[in-house]
Structure 1
Amino acid sequence: MNIFVVNLKDSVDRRKSVELQLNKLNLQYEVVEAVDGRALSNEEIMQHTRELNYACKPGEIGCSLSHLKVYRKIVEYNIPYALILEDDIQLSADLPLILTELPNIINKNTPSVTLLTHIHQYDAKIQHKISPQHALHVLIEASCSHGYVINASAAQNALDSLYPVWMVADRWKIFREYSIAKLFAVLPPVISHSELSKISIINDQGLDINTLKLKKLTEENLYKKRPIKIKLKRILWLLIKRPFMNIIKQ
């Protein structure tokens, strides 16, 4: 499986940390230079974002553009599946096995994203047993983008729906609600954050009160302006699908 590591050019220590781990696991990879949102001009920000944009901080914009950059590569080269990694990660020794088995489990023609990291909520029902220790579950809620597998059809849908940027990269429920991709998770996770994650580079450190207020207002406006089809889909999901799920929170 193709592996892409999103890394800012100047973040040498982070890149070396990921490379060391991947080499140790005998995994081939490609480093993709991340978009530094702090270096974008006002004109570039206007070009690459929508007027109503929840990803309002430069770091958030850069992070979203970085992941979209990888999606374009996946689509351009018709890559069936790819693992996307950020550079502040810790990899489990079980990762190679998971990457070998996932293409045999997930239909490449069905748009899908599979998180290999810690998640917040999932359906207890096992979709597939990957190994004696790991299983595939339907993902309900998660909020990180440091390690996930995406297929080409989902990458194309994400490009069509999320560019110009209007949402942060890790708002996964948007993928479900906007029919970008089906969401899954491997449990227990095989990718975690490393100590380097405590020092944010791509994303901004903290949010001030004014920014939080702006985000809340933007989210409310985005929610109100959703297409009718999206609103109906969410209502049907809440009424028909969710009641039959045994949702586990963690």
Structure 2
Amino acid sequence: MQPSISETLPPVFVINRLNDDHRRADMTERLAKVGLSATFIEAVDGYQLDIDNLPEYDREKRRRYFGKDLKAGEIGCLLSHKKIYEKMVAENIPRALILEDDVFLADKFKDVLEDIQRTSLPWDLIRFVGHGKVFDIGFRRLAALRHDYSITRVPTSPSGAYAYLLTLGAANRLLRFMQKNWVPVDIIHSRAWQTGLETLLIHPSPITPDLDGPSTIGDERFDRAKQITGLTKLLHPFYRFWYKLSNGVGKRLVYLLTWFRDSKYPLS
């Protein structure tokens, strides 16, 4: 007897700091309301790391392109997500739903998850970050889901790593890209032209971040003050220009090159 779709749903992993038991309780309750349970993964506390001697952090490249360091909270967040990818590889987990501990789930989210399991659409990474102005430019609908949700491709690279589905193959590939890090984890997710991952979004997003509560990453990441001097400061504008240019070209190139493949799907 074949297992039902509900029985084959991917495991849910929630990143949570050890002392944030109130967030853990909130997420347990929110997931239970939609018929899901989770394994909580202890977050890496970036503020406890020796960032100056961290082998996973490429400070020189980060400063060259951004003029400032990644913050401790950003590094901790990245390494927390990486910890789950390593778990998927070590335990041969085919797919997983990965959440941060400050999200809200739509009442019908489990239906959406079941529909994604049923679709024959190929994907490596499905991001639940379709809020805000992401879709103002236009998007390509590839598969209809229940309750007016759909799997889409967008010509932009939205930020946010608070909720996504990931395959084992994608976890392996991301780990290769995360040996030396210079951008936050959500930017890595956005760079599909570099990772080669089939990256799609759900529209509208059935998972949204809690924008009212305090961020565990820290607001200091929004500080625009530069931390560079000498030759690095002199060359920074050129590196920054190249970063923006390559980002713009890369995301639009992926959108254009996938047009013919996507046109095979009836909703495209």
Structure 1 length normalisation: TM-score?
A: 0.80
| 1:221 maps to which of 239, 242, 252 | 239
Rate the CA distance shift 1:87–1:220 in 2: closer, same or farther, 3 A.
Answer: farther
Aligned residues: 236
TM superposition shift of 1:17: 0.8
Helix, strand or coil for the counterpart of 2:79? helix
Question: Which residues in structure 2 correspond to 1:122-161 (within 5 Å)?
Answer: 122=135, 123-139=138-154, 140-161=156-177
CA deviation vs aligned residue, 1:7-43 (integer Å, no higher than 9, x gap): 1111111111111111222212100011110110245
Distance 1:116 1:235 in 2: 18
Helix, strand or coil for the counterpart of 1:178? helix
Paired residue for 2:57? Answer: 49
| 1:85 maps to which of 91, 99, 110 | 99
Paired residue for 2:217? Answer: 202
Paired residue for 1:248? Answer: none
Residue 69 (1) aligns with residue 83 (2): yes
TM superposition shift of 1:150: 1.0
Is the contact between residue 129 and residue 136 of structure 1 (CA under 8 Å) also seen in structure 2? yes
Is the contact between residue 136 and residue 184 of structure 1 (CA under 8 Å) also seen in structure 2? yes
Question: Which residues in structure 2 correspond to 1:1-250 (within 5 Å)?
Answer: 1-42=10-51, 44-45=53-54, 47-51=55-59, 52-53=61-62, 56-105=70-119, 112-119=124-131, 120-122=133-135, 123-139=138-154, 140-171=156-187, 174-194=190-210, 198-211=213-226, 221=239, 224=242, 234=250, 237=253, 240-241=256-257
Distance 2:216 2:255 in 1: 41
TM superposition shift of 1:44: 4.8
RMSD of the alignment, in Å? 3.4
* Greater strand content: 1
- Gaps in structure 2 of 5+ consecutive residues: 1-9, 263-268
Helix, strand or coil for the counterpart of 1:198? coil
CA deviation vs aligned residue, 1:170-215 (integer Å, no higher than 9, x gap): 11564312134122111111111225x531113444533324889x
1:121 aligned partner, one-letter code: V
The structure having more radius of gyration, on CA atoms, is 2
Aligned-residue identity in percent? 23
1:21 aligned partner, one-letter code: R
Helix, strand or coil for the counterpart of 1:66? helix
Rate the CA distance shift 1:222–1:242 in 2: closer, same or farther, 3 A.
Answer: farther
Is the contact between residue 129 and residue 159 of structure 2 (CA under 8 Å) also seen in structure 1? no
Distance 1:175 1:184 in 2: 12
Structure 2 length normalisation: TM-score?
A: 0.75
Distance 1:106 1:48 in 2: 36
2:27 aligned partner, one-letter code: V
Is the contact between residue 142 and residue 172 of structure 1 (CA under 8 Å) also seen in structure 2? no
Rate the CA distance shift 1:106–1:77 in 2: closer, same or farther, 3 A.
Answer: farther
Is the contact between residue 154 and residue 180 of structure 1 (CA under 8 Å) also seen in structure 2? no
Q: Stretches of 4+ moved more than 6 A in 1?
A: 216-219, 242-245
Distance 2:255 2:34 in 1: 44
TM superposition shift of 1:162: 2.2
Is the contact between residue 63 and residue 203 of structure 1 (CA under 8 Å) also seen in structure 2? no
